[in-house]
């Protein structure tokens, strides 16, 4: 067999409009930062870039937590980092499950030998605080964990009530903010969150590869008072925090260029301002939903439980799920997501995350979808663009 190097062409992924569950569109400034020269991870210039990245992350998480850093790895690494550091065999851990990512949390707790208190909620709905309170009463959970923004369903679970329940039973409050961070308010300190993790490729609009993680003093105390060592060497936050802290103790090599990219993405967020950014996400979400409903489609999640950055719409009768998504991608370069688990073939997941949450994308998507469905013989009412425009006209 001969090996022909010329069979491997120049890399050319093409341009897409990323309106799925992540990654989202990356701003050109972030791509440019990514292409900056790679320097040593202990170079004084890089050390100050690490410091600035931590400052920007604390701004985004709205926190004074002692540890707020990007874990090297995707959102799932952040999830694992939180549990592996805070759970020891035999610890009771309450996990709310209302979608795919909640089931993953439960899986991790079981793998760590934790005693799982699983609180299930309907997929497509927020978690009911009363059900959680009932499940943890007379128990002694070390952690109460919830997914703030369930990307698999588009449901948002408000954090305030659950935070109070966690405090009342003396548990640490652990929150998945992979999809919510940078798209809606997730003020860690105000909301009493002890451990949070996110991902760079959703509303931060950076490529995938880093997982912002934040631990409160209480979480750091719990880590310090573990009986045994953290079973993951790579994700041991006591070592990772010495690497990111003043000592700069070598633990692993930070992915230098990804840190550049994250720093630039965070700088863009700070320039826009958090409240302006959240309002932009809400507005484009309202316009998209208005358009979809005008076409005659219905959303999976009740109005007051919907996420602004991930919209789950029921696939209309007669539409071919895969064919529609293929046509969106090949004819318009638009990526959206299909349903997961029981929702496969039943819903589309339309992301409006970070840089991709804009009027241009909303209107293009609505008109592209309308055209594709008509071509497939699906009945579509004609007023989507007007309905979206009416939302934007509200000023």
Ligand X SMILES: *Cc1c(COP(=O)(O)O)cnc(C)c1O
CA dist., res. 175 & res. 91, Å (int): 18
Using CB under 6 A, which of the segments 127-135, 175-183, 219-227, 387-395 binds ligand X? 175-183
At closest approach, how far in Å is the CB of 36 from ligand X?
Answer: 23
Q: Provide the minimum distance between the beta carbon of 129 and ligand X in the complex, in angstroms, as a whole number.
A: 19
- In sequence order, the 6+-apart residues with CB closer than 8 A to the CB of 192 are 163, 164, 166, 167, 173
**Sole binder of ligand X in the list 199, 291, 316, 339 (CB under 6 A):** 199
- State yes or no: cis peptide before 23, omega within 30 of 0: yes
| Of 117-125, 176-184, 225-233, 300-308: span binding ligand X (CB under 6 A) | 176-184
| Nearest distance in Å: CB 173, ligand X | 16
147 lines the binding site for ligand X (CB under 6 A): yes
Q: Does residue 74 belong to the site contacting ligand X (CB under 6 A)?
A: yes
Residues 279-289: b if buried by 16+ CB within 10 A, e if exposed:
ebbbbbbbbbb
- What minimum distance in Å lies between the beta carbon of 208 and ligand X? 5
> Per rule CB under 6 A, is residue 212 in the interface with ligand X?
no
Provide, rounded to whole angstroms, the least separation between the CB of residue 288 and ligand X.
18
Per the structure block, which two tokens stand in for 322? 């895969």
The yes or no reply on residue 208 touching ligand X (CB under 6 A) is yes
**Shortest distance in whole angstroms from residue 199 CB to ligand X:** 4
Instruction: For residue 178, state whether it binds ligand X (rule: CB under 6 A).
Output: yes
Q: Does 188 bind ligand X (CB under 6 A)?
A: no
Which residue of the chain is nearest ligand X when measured via CB?
75
**Is 255 near ligand X (CB under 6 A)?**
no
Distant-in-sequence, close-in-space partners of 316: CB < 8 Å, separation ≥ 6: 295, 296, 297, 373, 378, 379, 380
Q: Which two tokens stand for residue 388?
A: 């979206």
Q: Does 367 bind ligand X (CB under 6 A)?
A: no
Taking the complex as a whole, the smallest distance from the CB of residue 73 to ligand X amounts, in Å, to: 8
| Minimum CB–partner distance for residue 312 and ligand X (Å) | 13
Residue from 61, 101, 243, 244 in contact with ligand X (CB under 6 A): 101
Measured from the CB atom, is 101 or 366 closer to ligand X? 101
Which residues lie closer than 8 Å to 113 by C-beta, 6 or more apart? 87, 88, 89, 90
Torsion of CA 329, 332, 335, 338, to 10 degrees: -60
- Which range binds ligand X by CB under 6 A, 145-153, 183-191, 285-293, 376-384? 145-153
Three-class SS state of 152: coil
CA distance 386 to 218: 51
Q: How far apart (Å, rounded) are the C-alpha atoms in residues 395 and 278?
A: 15
> What does residue 46 show for φ and ψ, rounded to 5 degrees?
-70, -35
* C-alpha to C-alpha distance for 354 and 154, rounded to whole angstroms: 16
Of positions 68, 151, 205, 312, contacts ligand X by CB under 6 A: 151
Q: Which residues contact ligand X by CB under 6 A? A: 22, 74-76, 79, 101, 147, 149, 151, 176, 178-179, 199, 208
């Amino acid at each position: 067999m001969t090996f022909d190097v010329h069979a491997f062409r120049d890399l050319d992924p093409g341009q897409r409009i990323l309106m799925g569950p992540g990654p989202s569109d990356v701003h050109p400034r972030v791509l440019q930062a990514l292409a900056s020269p790679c320097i040593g991870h202990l170079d004084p210039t890089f050390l100050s870039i690490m410091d600035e990245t931590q400052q920007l992350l604390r701004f985004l998480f709205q926190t004074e937590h002692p540890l707020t850093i990007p874990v090297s790895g995707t959102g799932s690494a952040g999830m694992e980092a939180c549990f592996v550091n805070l759970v020891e065999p035999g610890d009771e851990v309450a996990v709310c499950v209302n979608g795919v990512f909640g089931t993953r949390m439960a899986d991790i707790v079981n793998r760590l030998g934790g005693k799982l208190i699983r609180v299930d909620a309907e997929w497509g709905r927020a978690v009911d605080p009363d059900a959680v309170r009932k499940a943890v009463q007379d128990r002694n959970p070390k952690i109460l964990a919830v997914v703030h923004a369930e990307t698999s369903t588009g449901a948002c679970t408000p954090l305030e009530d659950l935070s109070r329940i966690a405090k009342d039973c003396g548990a640490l409050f652990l929150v998945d903010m992979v999809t919510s961070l940078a798209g809606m308010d997730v003020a860690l300190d105000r909301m009493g969150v002890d451990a949070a993790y996110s991902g760079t490729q959703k509303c931060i609009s950076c490529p995938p590869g880093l997982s912002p993680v934040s631990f409160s003093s209480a979480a750091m105390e719990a880590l310090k008072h573990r009986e045994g060592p953290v079973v993951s060497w790579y994700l041991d936050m006591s070592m990772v925090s010495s690497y990111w802290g003043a000592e700069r103790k070598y633990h692993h090599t930070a992915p230098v260029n990804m840190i550049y990219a994250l720093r630039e993405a965070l700088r863009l967020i700070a320039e826009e301002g958090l409240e302006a950014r959240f309002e932009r996400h809400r507005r484009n979400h309202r316009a998209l939903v208005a358009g979809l409903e005008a076409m005659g489609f219905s959303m999976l999640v009740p109005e007051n439980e919907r996420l602004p950055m991930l919209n789950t719409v029921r696939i209309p009768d007669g539409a071919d799920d895969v064919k529609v998504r293929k046509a969106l991608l090949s004819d318009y370069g638009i990526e959206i997501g299909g349903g997961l688990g029981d929702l496969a073939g039943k819903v589309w997941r339309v992301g409006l995350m970070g840089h991709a949450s804009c009027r241009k994308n909303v209107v293009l998507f609505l008109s592209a979808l309308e055209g594709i469905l008509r071509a497939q013989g699906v009945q579509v009412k004609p007023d989507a663009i007007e309905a979206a425009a009416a939302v934007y006209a509200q000023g």
